[in-house]
Amino acid sequence: MINFINKFIKITQNSNYIAQGVKDLAKLTPVKKIFDSIKNFSSDSEIRYVGGCIRKIIKKEKVDDIDLATNLSPNQVCDALNKDNIDYYKTGIEHGTITAVINDYHFEITSLREDVATYGRHAEVKFSTDWKKDASRRDFTFNAIYSDIDGNLFDPFNGKDDLEKGIIKFIGEPEKRIQEDYLRILRYLRFYLSYSNHEHDLKTAKLIKKNIVGISNLSKERLLDELKKLIKSNLLTKLSRDKFSIELFEIVFPQIKNIKIFSYPNEFTQKKIAEADFIFLLSVLIIDGSDNADYFIYKFNISKKDQKRLKIIDNFYKEKITSKSFSENNLNKIFYYTGKQSVIDILSYKLLRSKKINNKFIKFIDEFQSKILPTMPFGARILMKKYQIPEGKYLGDKLKIIEEEWVNNNFQLTEKQIDKIINH
């Protein structure tokens, strides 16, 4: 049953691609079970898609997560899911969010809310049944678009029109929205680069500059997460060409110094940007031969695994680079000691930093992608038996020298060479 309040909300019947895109969500995922569970809870209960999934359908983008809103309280949502044996965990129940899990799909279900008082990012909220008030506390007009399971849009701030016209518009007073959560400055930047067809609104730009200091209050985890979203959205080229966006970006992430590399990408760079992961693109942005990458790693508490990958690239380019640095022999050493990914990263980094396409490097990348890590054929038992060497430090030292020679000779070593090492 649709609440009385809906007469105040713009309802758009969609028989077009948007409605079809929304309907496809129920075909491609088990989300209909969530809709049925909530709707069957009571005669007044409602649930709708909201936010990013609807925005992406309108823009014909891939939907990678599904957020839902409901007029039930968090405890009622739990009761509804329990009744239908749907697994869930209380992601942020104090903020009204429950995450339902069906067949490895995760669906965030958030109860309608309205602000009682705001304290920066933190707000005192109460749960509501008022869709308009819930929409009023969201950031941008196109993130406050709701849809039922059939693709009928509930769009109180005309977000669909703004999205189609390329207008990035805060809901209500921009400065208030920004001061509620300073991460919205970076979200503005990402959405502007993704969707805008216009110059930055001067009033909005001034307010962002005025409030940029508030970024310092945000956790490093939230900043890094937003940086990942921006980089993974293939926006680096657009970012590098927009003066205001670069200015904001460099204030928030001063260690990112190489953004101009992406201004006019060659064919290889365009392809690599589209397929590369976050850590590789980050390496291109922060590695510059100084301690810049070390500082970024420390500041943002990068995981040990990603630190190792970044440091391999960083250490390689901190050394004096010569033609031998990129010889097959040297690349084989890197491959053996640090892995296939390291070689591909080092070569790709060089290609992205170069204006010209080096076909030799591209060939190397193709070869190493299919290369299998060799196993040294000379083990301790063979040496102990053939040369009558007992276990101990001497044997270990000789094995290490043999391994180094074998790697230096492109994974080849004759018995004569081994004899020489043993008898030296």
Evaluate whether 389 touches 398 at the Cβ level (below 8 Å): yes
Average of per-residue pLDDT across 299-314: 95
Whether 384 and 365 map to the same domain: the answer is: no
Whether 17 and 112 map to the same domain: the answer is: yes
Question: Which tens digit of pLDDT belongs to each residue from 97-111?
Answer: 999 999 999 999 999
What pLDDT was estimated at residue 154?
96
Last residue of a domain, one of 121, 140, 165: 165
What pLDDT was estimated at residue 155?
96
Last residue of a domain, one of 134, 165, 196: 165
What pLDDT was estimated at residue 398?
81
User: Does 196 fall in a domain?
Assistant: no
Whether 304 and 414 map to the same domain: the answer is: no
User: Does 316 fall in a domain?
Assistant: yes
User: Does 45 fall in a domain?
Assistant: yes
Question: Which tens digit of pLDDT belongs to each residue from 133-160?
Answer: 999 999 999 999 999 999 999 999 999 9
Last residue of a domain, one of 369, 390, 412: 369
CATH number at residue 24: 3.30.460.10
Average of per-residue pLDDT across 268-273: 88
Domain that includes residue 159, residue range: 4-165
Whether 144 and 33 map to the same domain: the answer is: yes
C-alpha span between 234 and 69 (Å, rounded): 29
123 pLDDT tier (thresholds 50, 70, 90)? low
What pLDDT was estimated at residue 413?
81
Residues 6+ apart with CB under 8 A from 119: none
Question: Which of 81, 50, 88 lies closest to 67, judged by CA?
Answer: 50
Percent of the chain with pLDDT over 90: 70
What pLDDT was estimated at residue 421?
79
Average of per-residue pLDDT across 191-210: 95
- Which contiguous run of DSSP H or E holds residue 251? helix 243-252
Whether 84 and 123 map to the same domain: the answer is: yes
Evaluate whether 150 touches 120 at the Cβ level (below 8 Å): no
124 pLDDT tier (thresholds 50, 70, 90)? low
Amino acid making up residue 56: K
Question: Which tens digit of pLDDT belongs to each residue from 323-379?
Answer: 899 998 899 999 999 999 999 999 999 999 888 888 999 999 999 999 998 888 877
Burial of 400 by CB count in 10 Å (0-12 exposed, 13-18 middle, 19+ buried)? exposed
